Structure 1
Amino acid sequence: MTYQFDFASVLDYAPLLLHGAWITLVLSFWATVVGFVMGTACAVARTSGPKWLQMLVGAYVEIIRNTPLLIQAYFLIFGLASVGVRMPIMVGAVIALVVNIGSYTTEVMRAGIESIRTGQLEAADCLGLSRTQTFLHVVLRPAMERVYPSLSSLFILLMLGSSVLSAVGVEELFGTSNQVQSATYRNFEVFIVLGAIYLGLTLVLRVGFWALGQVIFPRRRKLGTAL
């Protein structure tokens, strides 16, 4: 049995697929930015906050990391709607991604913060640095530098994982591919093209994070430890 490939009919829908890829990147961008800020704040709270706040953040991390992203998205978009709290699907999708990636970022940043040695804090105190200066320059920046490769991989996985949001009606890349399959009946070719696009997006993001690391962490570049 021979299979006749027909990529031409699939490529006729290239604008639709590219639009889906753009939506995927937009979702991933906002989720990465807001999720990083949220995760960093939670990491600080979990390492140096009051006991009740540490327990609250710990509960958030455990609940989110041990439940599927799809369930979280369903809860935000459809579950809350059943009790009168409605939001646009795109807004719910971004919130679901932020909440999800924020929990993982919390643990990664917590590991980075806890890797800072006490001697460095004592040295900062001897130099007369304020608590804010010590946190920003002695704790946060070195912590970010140490976990930057892990964060980069985490955010790339976020982009790939956003494909599950097609199940709640988000017209991202995987969601638009369903339309192409329905119109062309060329499922095999669609999945090949889809895989190629995801691979291209991943490579673009890896280069982007590498370039960003070169700019914000020049010491890694000088030591030859950059991504």
Structure 2
Amino acid sequence: MSYTFQFGALLPYKADILAGIWLTLKLSFISILLGGLAGAVLASLRSTSGRAVRLVIDAYVEIIRNTPFLVQLFIVYFGLPGLGFRVGADTAALIGMTINLTAYSTEIIRAGIEAIHKSQIEAGEALGFTRFQILRHVIIVPAVGKVYPALCSQFVLMMLASSICSAISTPELAAAAAFVESQTYRSFEVYILVTLIYLTLALVLRGALALLGLWLFGRRAVRRPLAAMPEVSA
């Protein structure tokens, strides 16, 4: 049985594919920025606050990490309007991705914080550092440096998981692929192209994060940046 590839049939839809790529990148960049920062804040609060705050943060992390990302998106997109908050598909995707990534980032950074030896904190206190200075320079920065490869892996996985947002009609790359496939009936060609695009985006993002880690933390933070691949619920 022979099959004739016709990638030329996809050319009239290049604008749709490019628009999908752009939205995927935009959602990924913003959610990585917000989710990474929020994860650092929650991990810090968990290590410095009382039992009640720790329980709330732990509950949030466990709920998000043990429920499917798709269900979380549905709650944001279909559930919030029932409470009087109407959000568009793009906004709902961004909120869902940020909430999901925050939970994973919090857990990853928490592991880094727990790896900081108490003697380092005591040394900071002996040098007269304020509590904020100890948190920033002795705990958070070294902790993020220790877990940076795992954090990078989670960021890449979140970018790939953005394809799930097509389920709520967000016109990112996966949704654009579905539209092109419905118009051309060239399923094989469409999804080969999309696979290559996602692969390229993942490699570029991994490289960019590795360079960022090299600048921020030195060579130790960028060794085998995808060695640990945390799981994202789909």
TM-score, normalised with respect to structure 2: 0.92
Q: How do 1:61-100 residues align onto structure 2 when only pairs under 5 Å count?
A: 61-100=61-100
- Residues 226 and 72 of structure 1, relative CA distance in 2, 3 Å threshold: closer
Output the CA distance in 2 between the equivalents of 1:137 and 1:63: 31
SS at the partner of 1:67? Answer: coil
Per-residue displacement from partner, 1:192-218 (whole Å, max 9, x unpaired)? 000000011011101100110111113
Aligned to 1:212: 212
Q: Answer whether contact 2:149 2:223 (CA < 8 A) is retained.
A: no
Aligned residues: percent identity?
42
The RMSD of aligned alpha carbons is 1.5
Q: Answer whether contact 1:43 1:109 (CA < 8 A) is retained.
A: yes
- The number of equivalent residue pairs is 225
SS at the partner of 2:99? Answer: helix
Instruction: Report how far residue 13 of structure 1 moved.
Output: 1.8
Q: Answer whether contact 2:40 2:106 (CA < 8 A) is retained.
A: yes
- Residues 188 and 219 of structure 1, relative CA distance in 2, 3 Å threshold: closer
SS at the partner of 1:12? Answer: helix
- Residues 29 and 119 of structure 1, relative CA distance in 2, 3 Å threshold: same
Aligned to 1:189: 189
SS at the partner of 2:170? Answer: coil
Regions of 4+ moved over 4 Å = 224-227
Output the CA distance in 2 between the equivalents of 1:14 and 1:196: 15
Aligned to 2:49: 49
Aligned to 2:161: 161
Instruction: Report how far residue 57 of structure 1 moved.
Output: 0.7
Instruction: Report how far residue 129 of structure 1 moved.
Output: 1.3
Q: Answer whether contact 1:220 1:226 (CA < 8 A) is retained.
A: no
Output the CA distance in 2 between the equivalents of 1:220 and 1:74: 39
Output the CA distance in 2 between the equivalents of 1:226 and 1:160: 19
Aligned to 2:117: 117
Query: 5+ residue gaps in structure 1?
Result: none
TM-score, normalised with respect to structure 1: 0.95
Most deviating of 126-135 and 97-106: 126-135
AA matched with 1:4:
T
Instruction: Report how far residue 220 of structure 1 moved.
Output: 3.2
